[in-house]
């Protein structure tokens, strides 16, 4: 698994108009157009490019975030460190590093590609649909998070056992277990067998 330093540009490449557009893709992840963010998530959903980040500390604990209550999609639920959508034409790696900084105020010291996963997850609470071709990333972070309150309600560092406990009692995003399971081989390679992932 290639591990590279994560230097990220933190500015939107083409201004705010592109922030509401998503890249539509085919089943192989090839770009076929764009759609407005909310439109792409309305039933039955349009397949679009997304990313999910899993960051760990030096003890092998995963950083979770609770999504801000003001979010239109899946507010208040727990999920992986960071997830989102690249701007049209933006590399998923750059988008993952950018949004991690924007949401959590940290830049990963290492960030590595961990494959892709395609899924279709309706969200019963909002009625929206996640039809995503998701690029997965795993990495390390050495600084404490400083979350943007408009994006993140809370954060938590968890071991595998603590995650299982929290997952049994709290509400998690519809996509969380799918992206976690898909990223597990890369997570194990990053954290080592003793971490238990």
Q: Point out the residues that are catalytic.
A: 83, 132
Range 125-130 contact pairs with CB under 8 angstroms and sequence separation of 24 or more: 125/74, 126/72, 126/73, 126/74, 127/43, 128/41, 128/42, 128/43, 128/45, 128/73, 129/41, 129/42, 129/43, 129/44, 129/45, 130/41, 130/45, 130/50, 130/174, 130/175
Range 122-129 contact pairs with CB under 8 angstroms and sequence separation of 24 or more: 122/43, 122/45, 122/174, 123/73, 123/74, 123/174, 125/74, 126/72, 126/73, 126/74, 127/43, 128/41, 128/42, 128/43, 128/45, 128/73, 129/41, 129/42, 129/43, 129/44, 129/45
């Amino acid at each position: 698994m290639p591990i590279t330093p994560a230097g990220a540009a933190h500015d939107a490449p083409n201004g705010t108009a592109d922030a509401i557009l998503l890249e539509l893709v085919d089943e192989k992840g090839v770009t076929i157009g764009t759609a407005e963010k909310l439109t792409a998530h309305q039933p039955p959903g349009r397949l679009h490019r997304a990313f999910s980040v899993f960051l760990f500390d030096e003890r092998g604990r995963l950083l979770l975030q609770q999504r801000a209550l003001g979010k239109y999609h899946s507010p208040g639920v727990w999920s992986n460190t960071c997830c989102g959508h690249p701007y049209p034409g933006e590399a998923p790696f750059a988008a993952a590093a950018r949004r991690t900084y924007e949401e959590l105020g940290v830049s990963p010291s290492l960030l590595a590609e961990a494959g892709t996963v395609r899924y279709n997850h309706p969200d019963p609470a909002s009625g929206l649909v996640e039809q995503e071709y998701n690029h997965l990333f795993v990495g390390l972070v050495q600084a404490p998070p400083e979350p943007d309150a408009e994006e993140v309600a809370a954060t938590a560092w968890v071991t595998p056992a603590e995650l299982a406990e929290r997952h049994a009692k709290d509400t998690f995003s519809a996509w969380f277990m799918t992206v976690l399971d898909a990223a597990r081989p890369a997570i194990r390679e990053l954290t080592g067998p003793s971490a238990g992932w």
